[in-house]
């Protein structure tokens, strides 16, 4: 597609396509496509994270949708999954999120949800892109869309999150450090855990428009780890800027990533008969997760990288649990999209019910050492490695040495001119040596 990537449209603020005129036109194009065949005023639900440019693009989208004859419901700063949920709850034809997720404040983006709270399908995205090429034609004055703010959005989503754990679940006796990444969860996550009885220490929960994801949150969890140890907490929870990712920290300060979260949830559900089908990870999920599931007799499949692809595979298989090591966790029997708060609650429910520490629950999965090296390439990274005999031979050589005890992945980046070389195996030194060996083979192949 011309503008849409795997997770909406994203870029540097002030540089195409993340400019005011483009976003206004995008609002009109999306609104005019969504309004087709709808005699009444359809409405869209708009939320944003806490970066300063959100004010700018919220106004631009509002103007564009109004010009297309679409009403707007403004949520203000809200997690991405909250927009998905409230789009369904409020009967919107679509939800729009202004966010660049885990990126720094200088970036921003736009992503859409359908009226069912799921990622907008490709056909609609193509239709919107095609409409972008047409002149902006404003509807007649009497048909202009209206805008209003939803004042109780925060309370609505807090109650929804709490309802995703069994009735009567309480977290009394648990001390939790919650890192909000100075992002969209700052008004929601601490109250959710407190209202369920936890002793909550909130950190990085004072956004100023510029500090979102800055040395905090799920992409920088060391501050959370330090706080958990310092506070003598039972565990820590870290979200990214828009709240769709989560990683955890156990009481020792050890990181528990998305793969380990999937293991904990799948193991607990299997034990109580609540695991529906198998689990979906991605090509980057740790080999240790696959090995653990094999030992448990749990089916495991891999999709392309991206929570959208995990979601598609889950729908195809009729399963409900999947995710990525980065912390995108999908519990489709709890939410239509990945929600960091909901995912954290599912883990905390297991901790509270079993009275086991997070460290003990995660101990059943052995993480294999993994090394990833980005090898710069000229031109298209996918073309650079496709059907290259010397690279095929180099991969076979590494796989032969691993002898079934690990994995090799050559993956062209979708956003940078690099080939990502990843090797997993049982020993750190072996993995590092083989990754360097394969990266060298990629470099030599590019020089031919």
- pLDDT tens by residue, 216-264: 999 999 999 999 999 999 999 999 999 999 999 999 999 999 999 999 9
CATH of the domain at 130: 3.40.120.10
**Quick one: 350 and 400 in the same domain?**
no
Scan for tokens 């929600």, then name that residue.
Answer: 339
pLDDT-derived band at 30, boundaries 50, 70, 90: very high
CA distance linking residue 280 with residue 331, whole number of Å: 11
- Confidence at residue 384, expressed as pLDDT on a 0 to 100 scale: 61
**Tens-digit pLDDT profile for residues 351-384:** 999 999 999 999 999 999 999 999 988 766 566 6
**Quick one: 265 and 385 in the same domain?**
no
- Confidence at residue 383, expressed as pLDDT on a 0 to 100 scale: 64
**Quick one: 409 and 315 in the same domain?**
no
**CB-side neighbour CA atoms (13 Å) of 184:** 33
CA nearest neighbour of 363 among 273, 221, 260, 234: 260
CA distance linking residue 9 with residue 20, whole number of Å: 14
Is 3 part of a structural domain of the chain?
no
Q: Domain of residue 88: give its range.
A: 9-150
Q: What rounded mean pLDDT belongs to the chain?
A: 94
**Quick one: 105 and 138 in the same domain?**
yes
Residue 117 pLDDT exceeds 60: yes
CA distance linking residue 368 with residue 159, whole number of Å: 38
- Confidence at residue 110, expressed as pLDDT on a 0 to 100 scale: 98
**Tens-digit pLDDT profile for residues 210-221:** 999 999 999 999
Over range 326-332, report the average pLDDT: 96
Is 309 part of a structural domain of the chain?
yes
**Quick one: 138 and 161 in the same domain?**
no
**Quick one: 146 and 163 in the same domain?**
no
Give the residue from 338, 362, 386 where a domain finishes.
362
Q: Could you give the number of structural domains in the chain? A: 3
**Quick one: 179 and 49 in the same domain?**
no
CA distance linking residue 432 with residue 427, whole number of Å: 9
CA distance linking residue 304 with residue 390, whole number of Å: 24
Over range 405-433, report the average pLDDT: 88
- Confidence at residue 444, expressed as pLDDT on a 0 to 100 scale: 86
Is 106 part of a structural domain of the chain?
yes
Is 180 part of a structural domain of the chain?
yes
Residue 60 pLDDT exceeds 60: yes
Over range 51-61, report the average pLDDT: 98
CA distance linking residue 242 with residue 18, whole number of Å: 18
CA distance linking residue 400 with residue 3, whole number of Å: 41
Is 32 part of a structural domain of the chain?
yes
pLDDT-derived band at 414, boundaries 50, 70, 90: low
Give the residue from 313, 341, 362 where a domain finishes.
362
CA distance linking residue 224 with residue 253, whole number of Å: 8
- Confidence at residue 7, expressed as pLDDT on a 0 to 100 scale: 80
Residue 125 pLDDT exceeds 60: yes
Catalytic one of 101, 114, 218, 303: 101
Is 2 part of a structural domain of the chain?
no
Question: CB of 125 within 8 A of CB of 4?
Answer: yes
**Quick one: 183 and 311 in the same domain?**
yes
Is 196 part of a structural domain of the chain?
yes
**Quick one: 251 and 143 in the same domain?**
no
Over range 322-337, report the average pLDDT: 95
CATH of the domain at 414: 3.30.310.50
DSSP letter string, 149-208: E-TTHHHHHHHHHHTTS-TT---TT-EEEEE-TTSTTTTTHHHHHHHTT-EEEEES----
CA distance linking residue 28 with residue 80, whole number of Å: 21
CA distance linking residue 218 with residue 180, whole number of Å: 9
Give the residue from 362, 387, 412 where a domain finishes.
362
**Quick one: 161 and 276 in the same domain?**
yes
pLDDT-derived band at 448, boundaries 50, 70, 90: low
**E strands in 204-314:** 235-239, 246-250, 255-256, 279-282, 300-303
Question: CB of 123 within 8 A of CB of 239?
Answer: no
CA nearest neighbour of 177 among 246, 213, 225, 240: 225
**Quick one: 307 and 415 in the same domain?**
no
**Quick one: 344 and 389 in the same domain?**
no
What are the tokens at 82?
A: 């909250």
Residue 101 appears among annotated catalytic residues: yes
Is 300 part of a structural domain of the chain?
yes
Residue 39 pLDDT exceeds 70: no
């Amino acid at each position: 597609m011309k503008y849409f990537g795997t997770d909406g449209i994203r870029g540097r603020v002030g540089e195409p396509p993340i400019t005011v005129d483009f976003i206004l036109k995008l609002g009109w194009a999306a609104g005019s496509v969504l309004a087709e065949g709808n005699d009444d005023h359809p409405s869209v639900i708009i939320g944003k994270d806490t970066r300063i440019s959100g004010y700018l693009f919220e106004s631009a989208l509002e103007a564009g949708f109004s010009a297309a004859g679409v009403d707007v419901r403004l949520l203000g700063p809200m997690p991405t999954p909250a927009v998905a949920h409230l789009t369904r709850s409020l009967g919107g034809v679509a939800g729009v999120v202004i966010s660049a997720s885990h990126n720094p404040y200088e970036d921003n983006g736009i992503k859409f949800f359908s009226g069912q709270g799921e990622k907008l399908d490709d056909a609609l995205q193509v239709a919107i892109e095609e409409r972008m090429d047409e002149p902006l034609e404003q509807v007649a004055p009497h048909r202009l869309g209206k805008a209003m703010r939803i004042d109780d959005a925060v309370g609505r989503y807090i109650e929804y999150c709490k309802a995703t754990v069994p009735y009567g679940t309480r977290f009394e006796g648990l001390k939790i450090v919650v890192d909000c990444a100075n992002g969209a969860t700052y008004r929601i996550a601490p109250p959710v855990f407190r209202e369920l009885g936890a002793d909550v220490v909130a950190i990085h929960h004072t956004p100023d428009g510029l500090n979102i994801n800055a040395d905090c949150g799920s992409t920088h969890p060391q501050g959370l780890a330090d706080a958990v140890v310092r506070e003598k907490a039972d565990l820590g929870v870290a979200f990214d800027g828009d709240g769709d990712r989560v990683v955890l920290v156990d009481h020792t300060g050890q990181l528990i990533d998305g793969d380990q979260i999937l293991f904990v949830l799948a193991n607990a559900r299997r034990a109580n008969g609540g695991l529906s089908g198998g689990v979906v990870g991605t090509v980057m999920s740790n080999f240790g997760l696959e090995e653990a599931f094999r030992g448990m007799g749990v089916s495991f499949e891999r999709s392309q990288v991206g929570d959208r692809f995990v979601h598609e595979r889950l729908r195809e298989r009729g399963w409900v649990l999947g995710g990525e090591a980065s912390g995108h966790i999908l519990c489709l029997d709890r939410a239509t999209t990945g929600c960091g708060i909901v995912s954290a609650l599912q883990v905390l429910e297991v901790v509270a019910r079993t009275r086991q520490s997070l460290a003990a629950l995660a101990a059943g999965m052995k993480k294999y050492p993994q090394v990833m090296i980005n090898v710069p390439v000229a031109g298209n990274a996918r073309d650079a490695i496709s059907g290259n005999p010397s690279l095929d031979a180099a991969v076979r050589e590494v796989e032969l040495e691993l002898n079934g005890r690990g994995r090799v992945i050559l993956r062209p980046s979708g956003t940078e001119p690099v080939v990502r070389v990843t090797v997993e195996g049982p020993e750190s030194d072996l993995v590092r040596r083989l990754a360097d060996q394969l990266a060298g083979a990629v470099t030599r192949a590019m020089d031919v």
